[in-house]
Structure formats: C-alpha cells, structure tokens
Amino acid sequence: MDTLIIKELESTSELLAAFPVMKQLRTHLDETTYLELVKEAKEKDSYRILALQDGNEIISVIGFKPMITLYYGRFVWVCDLVTDQNRRSGGYGQKLLDYVHGWAKENSYTSVALSSGLQREDAHRFYEEKMEYDRVSYVFRKALD
C-alpha cells in the first residue's frame, strides 16, 4: 500500500479515467452525463472528486461537498464513495473517508454525513462498524415529472 496516492481530479481526462470505477456505483450514468454533472457540481456546488490511485490505476473514488443546514450546521456531505469491485475490503474506502474527515476538520466543518442505498448492507456495516458513523435518519426522494 505504500504506492498509494490521493489525488483531486481536475481535468477532463482525469475525470474520465475515474468513470469506470464510478460507474460501478452510479450505474445509471453514461460517460457524457457523468462528465456534465461533475463539471456542473464542481462549478456551482463546490463538489470535489478525488481518486485513490495505486500507480496509474484508480482503485477508489470519493465525491464530496461542504454544506450548511439548520439540522447539521457546517458539515461535509459525501455524495459518492466507491471502490473498484476487484479491490474491495482493502481499506481503500477508509483511506478516502479519513482524508475527507481531515479536510473537514481543517476547514472548520463539524461533521461528515452521507446516505447509502437501502440494499447496500455491506456498505452500512462498513460505515457503522468500521468508520463509526451513526445511523441518524432516512433519506426520502420524490421524482418530479
């Protein structure tokens, strides 16, 4: 693991290199839509996307943004976190979350929050048992026509 680096993805080519891993989480996205959404979120919503790399291979990707709400106060929302299916359970997600925790503290945010699909029970165990996150709410969504 000593060849691992965490790198913020900025250029179009860097963002596209992360797409095969991100696609494992966001299966509904095609490459074009992914790129459009990431660029718009970076521009309008302070979204940041980072990759954990082993040499030139992207192993894991995290997307997050700082937020302020009355419920959480100043916090960081993890929008996306995925490790390549062939490299899971190697501590890579933990490394990226630890990085975000450090970034949040350095920038005066008081907590980190995320949501996880109901079916992702392995992820829930990881967040609760390994990362010591508390289950504090359900997330509801209504699609608008």
Q: Please say if the pLDDT value at position 1 is more than 60.
A: no
Q: Is residue 145 part of a domain?
A: no
Angle at 59 between CA 136 and CA 105, to 5 degrees: 45
CA distance 1 to 50: 17
Average pLDDT, the chain: 94
Q: Which two tokens stand for residue 45?
A: 């919503």
Q: Is residue 140 part of a domain?
A: no
Q: Is residue 141 part of a domain?
A: no
Q: Is residue 92 part of a domain?
A: yes
Provide the CATH number for the domain around residue 111: 3.40.630.30
Q: Is residue 111 part of a domain?
A: yes
Tell me the pLDDT tens digit for each residue of 85-128: 999 889 999 999 999 999 999 999 999 999 888 888 888 888 99
Amino acid letter for position 23: K
Q: Please say if the pLDDT value at position 31 is more than 90.
A: yes
Q: Is residue 14 part of a domain?
A: yes
Nearest of 128, 73, 122, 131 to residue 99 by alpha carbon = 131
Q: Is residue 135 part of a domain?
A: no
Q: Which two tokens stand for residue 135?
A: 């289950």
Which residue range is the domain that position 57 belongs to? Answer: 4-130
Burial of 118 (0-12, 13-18, 19+ CB in 10 A): exposed
- Count structural domains, the chain: 1
pTM value? Answer: 0.91
Spell out the alpha helix ranges (H) of the chain. 12-22, 31-45, 92-106, 121-125
Q: Please say if the pLDDT value at position 2 is more than 70.
A: no
Of residues 106 and 129, which shows the higher confidence score?
Answer: 106
Q: Is residue 114 part of a domain?
A: yes
Pairing mode of beta strands 73-83, 111-114:
parallel
Among all chains, which residue has been given the structure tokens 């609760």? 128
